[in-house]
């Protein structure tokens, strides 16, 4: 087969092979995994130690410890009945890191209570669990381990795997 005839016959295939061999390094160089590695360490024991040291250092009495690791210091239980799954609770709160830095508060928004349906996963798990222990008018400090807060992700000013403190007051249950 003459060279001209060979080239004209296999030209499309040759161009495809040439195209892909030139483009492959560029395509695969975009596939580097530069994403940060997610820390999947179980911080349950560490969080428990941190919370217990915080309770001792601040002369608090944790009136209830849930099996999940949530500590609740109830200063006012509120009136019965307690909220049930799906009911909307209205809450005034201040959220801080354990070193006292405020990261969120209803006070910064005109003391307008935050409303959410309890037990529906619309808030961090520590809130769903802790707020459910309070009746209308109830006040408490929730000491929330990282696994019931924002875990390995953190959010905004909250570092990943942070234990959080929330001072809460249930103003209404609907």
Does residue 116 sit in helix, strand or coil? Answer: strand
- Residue 34 CA, chain-centre distance (Å), reads 22
User: For residue 12, is the peptide bond before it cis, meaning its omega torsion is within 30 degrees of 0?
Assistant: no
For range 60-86, the mean pLDDT:
92
Nearest to 133 by CA among 80, 88, 93: 80
Which CATH class for the 44-173 domain? Answer: alpha beta
Q: Which tens digits make up the pLDDT trace of 90-140? A: 999 999 999 999 999 999 999 999 999 999 999 999 999 999 999 999 999
Write down the pLDDT at residue 16: 47
Q: Are 171 and 83 in contact (CB under 8 A)?
A: no
Higher pLDDT, 104 or 63: 104
pTM for this predicted structure: 0.77
Can you list the alpha helix ranges (DSSP code H) found in 30-124?
A: 44-57
Q: Which tens digits make up the pLDDT trace of 6-61? A: 555 655 555 444 445 545 455 445 545 555 566 667 899 999 999 999 999 999 99
Write down the pLDDT at residue 67: 86
Domain range annotation of the chain:
44-173
Give 65's pLDDT tier (boundaries 50, 70, 90): confident
Does residue 170 have a pLDDT over 70? Answer: yes
């Amino acid at each position: 087969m003459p060279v001209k005839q060979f080239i004209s016959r296999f030209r499309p295939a040759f161009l495809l092979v040439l195209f892909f061999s030139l483009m492959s390094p560029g395509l695969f160089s975009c596939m580097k995994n530069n994403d940060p590695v997610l820390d999947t360490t179980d911080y349950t024991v560490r969080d428990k130690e941190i919370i217990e040291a915080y309770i001792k250092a601040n002369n608090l009495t944790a009136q209830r410890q849930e099996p999940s690791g949530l500590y609740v210091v109830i200063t006012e239980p509120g009136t019965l009945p307690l909220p049930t799954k799906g009911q909307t609770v209205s809450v005034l709160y201040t959220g801080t890191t354990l070193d006292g830095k405020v990261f969120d508060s209803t006070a910064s928004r005109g003391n307008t209570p935050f409303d959410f349906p309890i037990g529906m996963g619309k808030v961090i798990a520590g809130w769903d669990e802790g707020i459910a222990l309070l009746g209308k008018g109830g006040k408490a400090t929730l000491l929330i381990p990282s696994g019931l807060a924002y875990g390995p992700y953190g959010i905004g000013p909250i570092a990943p795997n942070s234990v959080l403190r929330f001072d809460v007051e249930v103003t209404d249950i609907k």
